[in-house]
């Protein structure tokens, strides 16, 4: 990001000499110069320390038989709780419900890679082919909106539209049909959550692809058309290759995030469709840890997910570099 200043010759221009001198200041001089900036970073750092890093370190209760009642506060309880090594993990890995939640999570990720991931690309290409700027901006305004809604609101709206007493059921009953059960059926749960995710974020997901589409050089299309390529061939040979790097990047990011399928969406609907279909790793952590108060086991599940998550991100990033893409972080 910042070009190193060492390359400049000290005797070059006065200005450059000044910026060089920055590097040569002693620690005390730099501290005297920069302390206001450091002070400005401090509140944010403290907040993250208390609410992000200390809880991250606190994951080591996964190796304890954590019992909140052996102390007056969580810290004391942590100090007095018994260390049990990998006991919680042993319990976890023998627990069928945990593996169910892992399998559910991975199936949802796989399902959404097929039925969610391509939709924003398709929508962006469709919208990009519309000539009228008014229609384009109207559609954009409408489909970006649900991104700003909470999951509670999205699930509630689905409940009101296609739920047992919803608008659709009401209309069907009026017409003399029996409405299908869509909000509480475990067998169709995968479709339900994917449509909710699409409703909420497919429009928002277009943004990246729209930007990539604009970046494609129009003269490519013109040259291809002059050579007799029809609209489908132009799409195949120009548009899709133009989107390639964005698609690969997002795909890899999604793979790195395979154990994250969202939490609130599932916690809200777990009771409606049952644990078998709706338990994901995050909800397992919540119900094991906080609701059933098996703190150590819940923390172990959380730690397992965090470690696998880091491995997946690092691995996905390696994969990105192999594809010649930038990845999430570069090799700095």
Partner 1 sequence: MSADTAIRPRRNSLRPAWEEKPTLIGQFGKGTILTLVVAAVLIPLWTVLVTSLSSEKTINEAGGYVFIPREFNPAAYVVIFSGGQVTDAILVSTFVTIVGTALSLVVTVLAAYGLSRPGTLWHRSILFYFLLTFLIYPGMIPSYLVVTGLGLKDNLLALILPTAISAFNLVVLRAFFMSIPGELYDSARIDGAGELRILWRIVLPLSKAVTAVVGLFYAVGYWNAFFNAILYIDRNDLQPVQRVLQQFILAGQSPTSSGTAVAIPGLGSTMPPSLAIKMAVVVVTIVPALIVYPFIQRHFTKGVIIGAVKG
Residues numbered 271 to 290 that lie near partner 1 (CB under 8 A) are 271-272, 282, 285-287, 289-290
* Structure tokens that stand for 205 in this block: 């997901």
Please, which of residues 36-95 interact with partner 1 by CB under 8 A? 36-41, 43-45, 47-48, 50-59, 61, 68, 73-75, 78
- Point out which span in 86-94, 95-103, 109-117, 138-146 binds partner 1 (CB under 8 A): 138-146
Select 37 or 96, whichever has its Cβ closest to partner 1.
37
Asked if 242 interacts with partner 1 (CB under 8 A), we say no
Q: Is 65 helix (H, G, I), strand (E, B) or coil?
A: strand
Q: What is the DSSP letter of 83?
A: E
- Point out which span in 82-90, 107-115, 150-158, 185-193 binds partner 1 (CB under 8 A): 150-158
Those residues whose C-beta lies under 8 Å from the C-beta of residue 284, and which sit 6 or more positions away, are 97, 98, 101, 298, 301
Asked if 184 interacts with partner 1 (CB under 8 A), we say yes
* Binder among 210, 247, 253, 255 for partner 1 (CB under 8 A): 210
* Binder among 16, 113, 136, 248 for partner 1 (CB under 8 A): 136
* Binder among 101, 104, 159, 239 for partner 1 (CB under 8 A): 159
* Binder among 142, 181, 233, 318 for partner 1 (CB under 8 A): 142
Q: How far is the CB of 76 from partner 1 (least distance, A)?
A: 9
* Binder among 5, 12, 13, 97 for partner 1 (CB under 8 A): 5
- Point out which span in 81-89, 103-111, 199-207, 236-244 binds partner 1 (CB under 8 A): 199-207
Those residues whose C-beta lies under 8 Å from the C-beta of residue 184, and which sit 6 or more positions away, are 164, 272, 273
Q: How far is the CB of 277 from partner 1 (least distance, A)?
A: 14
* Binder among 309, 312, 323, 325 for partner 1 (CB under 8 A): 309
What is the widest separation between alpha-carbon atoms in the chain? 90
Asked if 221 interacts with partner 1 (CB under 8 A), we say yes
Residue 133, number of CB atoms within 10 A of its CB: 8
- Tell me how far apart the alpha carbons of residues 280 and 265 are, in angstroms, rounded to a whole number: 10
Asked if 21 interacts with partner 1 (CB under 8 A), we say no
- Tell me how far apart the alpha carbons of residues 60 and 300 are, in angstroms, rounded to a whole number: 8
- Point out which span in 89-97, 108-116, 139-147, 186-194 binds partner 1 (CB under 8 A): 139-147
Asked if 120 interacts with partner 1 (CB under 8 A), we say no
Q: Cα-flanking dihedrals φ and ψ of residue 190, to 5°? A: -55, -45
Asked if 262 interacts with partner 1 (CB under 8 A), we say no
CB 105 within 8 A of CB 190: no
CB 100 within 8 A of CB 276: yes
* Structure tokens that stand for 157 in this block: 């709206």
Torsion of CA 5, 40, 53, 55, to 10 degrees: -170
* Structure tokens that stand for 145 in this block: 């909106």
Asked if 14 interacts with partner 1 (CB under 8 A), we say no
Q: Angle at CA 209, nearest 5°, toward 109 and 200?
A: 50
């Amino acid at each position: 990001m910042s070009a190193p200043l060492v390359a400049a010759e000290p005797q070059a221009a006065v200005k450059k000499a000044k910026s060089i001198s920055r590097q040569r200041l002693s620690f005390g001089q730099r501290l005297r110069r920069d302390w206001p900036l450091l002070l400005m970073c401090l509140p944010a750092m403290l907040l993250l320390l208390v609410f992000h890093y200390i809880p991250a370190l606190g994951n080591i209760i996964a190796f304890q038989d954590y019992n909140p009642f052996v102390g007056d506060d969580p810290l004391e309880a942590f100090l007095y709780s018994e260390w049990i090594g990998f006991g919680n993990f042993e319990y976890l890995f023998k627990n069928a419900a945990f593996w169910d939640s892992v399998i559910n999570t991975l199936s949802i990720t796989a399902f959404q890679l097929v039925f969610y991931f391509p939709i924003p690309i398709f929508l962006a290409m469709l919208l990009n082919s519309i000539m009228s700027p008014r229609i384009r901006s109207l559609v954009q305004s409408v489909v970006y909106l649900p991104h700003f809604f909470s999951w509670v609101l999205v699930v509630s709206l689905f409940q009101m539209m296609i739920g047992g007493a919803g608008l659709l059921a009401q209309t069907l009953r009026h017409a003399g049909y029996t409405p299908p059960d869509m909000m509480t059926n475990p067998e169709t749960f995968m479709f339900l959550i994917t449509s909710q995710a699409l409703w909420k974020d497919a429009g928002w997901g277009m943004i990246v692809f729209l930007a990539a589409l604009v970046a494609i050089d129009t003269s490519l299309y013109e040259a291809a058309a002059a050579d007799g390529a029809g609209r489908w061939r132009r799409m195949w040979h120009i548009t899709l290759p133009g989107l390639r790097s964005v698609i690969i990047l997002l795909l890899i990011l999604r793979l790195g995030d395979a154990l994250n399928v969202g939490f609130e969406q599932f916690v809200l609907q777990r009771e409606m469709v049952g644990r078998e279909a709706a338990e994901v790793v995050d909800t397992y952590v919540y119900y094991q840890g906080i609701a059933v108060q098996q703190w150590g086991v819940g923390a172990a599940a959380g730690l397992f997910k965090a470690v696998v998550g880091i491995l997946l991100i690092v691995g996905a990033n390696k994969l990105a570099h192999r594809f010649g893409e930038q990845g999430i972080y570069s090799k700095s």
